[in-house]
Amino acid sequence: MSITAGRVIPCKAAVAWEAGKPLVIEQVEVAPPKAMEVRIKIKYTSLCHTDLYYWEAKGHTPLFPRIFGHEAAGIVESMGEGVTDLQVGDHVLPVFTGECKECAHCKSEESNMCDLLRINTDRGVMLNDGKSRFSINGNPINHFLGTSTFSEYTVVHVGCLVKIDPLAPLDKACILSCGISTGLGATLNVAKPKKGSTVAIFGLGAVGLSAAEGARIAGAARIIGVDMNPKRFEEARRFGITEFVNPKDHNKPVQEVIAEMTNGGVDRSVECTGNANVMISAFESVHDGWGVAVLVGVPSKDAVFMTKPINFLNERTLKGTFFGNYKPRTDLPSVVDMYMRKELEVEKFITHRVTFSEINKAFDYMIKGEGLRCVISMEE
C-alpha cells in the first residue's frame, strides 16, 4: 500500500466556481476511496468540448462549484474495499462511462452502455454514498462525469478505470480516454468500411478527424471531409482526408453534391457535429443497397430527424453509437496497443501543451477554435 493510503490528501485542483468564469487553482482535500473506488494521481489531462459545454452551462442545469476534466491518464495511489483487478502503481485511463461487467449491457456483446456506470452529467457525487470526495475547508466540491481530472488526485469508481500498458507514454495516451476513441470506434466498430471503400466524414473537429483516422486505418480509398470551415481542410489531410466539400460552396444540398461525386453515394458516412440537419445529410449521402450512416454527434434533446421512409426501404442503414461502441475496460487497452504499434497516430491530435497553472489557456484555445487537443501537465 502507498504511504498515503487511507489518508486525506491535500492537493491542487482547478475549481470552476461559476459558469463561464476562469477556473481557479485551489488547495482541495481528496478523501480516501470507499468500496469499489480508486484514488489516482493524475499525470496528464486534456480538455474535451464536453468540459467546455458544461462549464459554460448553456442549455442545462448548472452545478457549481465543480472540478471538471475527464480525458486523462494517471497512476493508482490507493484502492477501496472490493477492488481486486488493480494495484498501486498501475497506469490507468479514467473514462466518463464505465463497465461494471455485471449488468445486461455489459454482458451483451452488442452494447457498451453499462446500466450502473453510464454517463451522468448531472451527478456531482460518488455512487457509493452520494457524497463528494473533494472538499475545501470542509465544504464539498462537485464531481464531473465521475472523473474530475482537473485535480492532482481524484477518486473514480473502479468500473471507470482502464488499466493500460505501463510503457505507453501517459502524455499521449491521455487523449484516448474520450473523443479520439469515440470517433475511431464509430468508424472501425460501427461503420466498418471495407478496404477500398468511400467514406464521408461530416464535421472535422477532433472527433471527426479521429473518425477519418479510423477510415484511413481501415484502408478506405476515398475519405471525403465535409465542413463549413475551410481552415480545417489542410490540417485534415494529415488524417487521411482525400477530398473536401464545403456546403456553403454549393447551391444544392450537400448530399446531392456527394452523390454526384461518388456515382450514387458513399459506402459509409460518419456524422460528428450533433446538428440534426447535418445528420440527415449524412444519412442521405450514403449509397442505396449497402450504404451505412453512423451518428456520433449529440443533438439537442428537442432535435427532430426527418427523412423519407423510402431511404430505408432502398436499403440504406442508419446507426448511432456511444463512445465508439468500446467497452472501456475490455476494449480500450487494445486502442492503446494500436498506438504503441504505430497503427494509430496519436501525436498529430495534440496541438497545444500547457502547465496546470495555465489551464485557462486550454479553454481559450478551444473557444477560439484553435487546435484539436491541448494536453495539460499536472507537474509544473
Task: Measure the CA–CA gap between 169 and 117, rounded to whole angstroms.
Answer: 27
**Residue partners of 84: CB distance under 8 A and separation at least 6:** none
Residue that has been written with the C-alpha cell 477560439 in this structure: 368
The set of catalytic residues is 48-50, 70-71, 100, 103, 106, 114, 118, 178, 373
Q: Which three three-digit cell numbers place residue 326?
A: 468500446
Task: Measure the CA–CA gap between 103 and 192, rounded to whole angstroms.
Answer: 27
* Strand (E) or helix (H) holding 175: none
**Residue partners of 21: CB distance under 8 A and separation at least 6:** none
Task: Measure the CA–CA gap between 51 and 74, rounded to whole angstroms.
Answer: 18
CA 161 to chain centre: 14
Percentage helix, strand, coil, to 5, in the chain? Answer: 30, 25, 45
